[in-house]
Amino acid sequence: MQNDIAASNIKKGDLFYVELNERFFFMQVIHITTDLPAPYHQDHKFGYFMVVFEKTFKTLPTGIEALELSKVYVTRYLWKKTALYVSMWNKEPNISFTDKLMHYDYKDRYKLQLFANTGVAEQFDPPLVYDFVLPGTTSENEENITVSPQALSLQMLLWALLEEEKKRNEKRKNVEPLYFKSWKDEVEPDHILKAEKVITVLKLNADPKSLDKALKKAVVALNKLDERLGFIGTIEAEDLYECLVDTAVKAGLPEETALEIIDSSRSW
């Protein structure tokens, strides 16, 4: 039926968004597969490979420049660590809902909206396995994150996002930041705890005789956290910078020295 179709006339690079629980989630078509050989040539005539991005928004962005089109959403609560990199297959050239699967009612609740068309990132974070055929294989990287495409219908993908965010929000309720209270609704709870632990360790090691070394050690620790977890954006960087300077100065380090150490050591 026509109202079952969520997207048609789909092109590589198409950016879509959907509003789930008052947040906007973005996803992009990174590849389209057609004309698979038998036995897939009839039921799997069109394959749309999409990635869901980590960054979400409370208000709809006005342009592409606000998006982060390389950082892929990785599940942490619903499933074992899995990059939300999916393949959606159909007999017809569209992405649609189907009454043969659970959550068919989503078709009337959640609308997939075309935002723009833009180039696909040369490399994603985490790097993905470009396996654009059937049967698919399951591949994990060195961090045990599944980075191969998962065959999911649109309604099951939306269900997964809803469940993941539900569990994530439940965990957020149990985290009360000491230093970065504004991060609570935006940053992964575990990431907040790890960043705050670095600041706490710096305060505990605030010996004036070795404060410069302790500050540099804290910055390097944050570099390693961000390299592994990728959670420090512009706002987080500003908050960390301010907190590190404030902590070091209150412990007795001249502000000019603190600024020099941070600027020369940080990678965020």
Residue with tokens 């603190």: 258
Task: Give the total number of structural domains in the chain.
Answer: 2
Does one domain contain both 232 and 111? no
Does one domain contain both 154 and 198? no
Domain that holds residue 260: 181-265
Taking only the tens place, the pLDDT of each residue in 164-197 is 988 888 877 788 899 999 898 788 888 999 999 9
Does one domain contain both 77 and 104? yes
Does one domain contain both 94 and 188? no
pLDDT at 58 over 90: no
Does one domain contain both 156 and 186? no
Axis-axis angle for helices 234-250, 189-204 (nearest 10): 20
Does one domain contain both 46 and 110? yes
Does one domain contain both 53 and 161? yes
Taking only the tens place, the pLDDT of each residue in 135-174 is 888 899 998 999 999 999 999 999 999 999 888 888 777 8
Q: Which of 172, 205, 235 is at the close of a domain? A: 172
**Residues 6 or more apart in contact with residue 10 via CB below 8 angstroms:** 29, 32, 48, 93, 94, 95
Amino acid at 267: S
Does one domain contain both 147 and 258? no
Residue with tokens 């833009």: 118
pLDDT confidence tier of residue 2, bands split at 50, 70 and 90? low
Does one domain contain both 157 and 57? yes
Does one domain contain both 157 and 228? no
Distance CA 184, CA 191 (A): 10
Q: Which of 172, 198, 227 is at the close of a domain? A: 172
Does one domain contain both 11 and 125? yes
Does one domain contain both 115 and 197? no
Provide the mean pLDDT of the chain.
91
- For the sheet containing 46-52, what is the strand order? 113-117, 14-20, 23-34, 46-52, 85-90, 150-151
Q: Which of 110, 141, 172 is at the close of a domain? A: 172
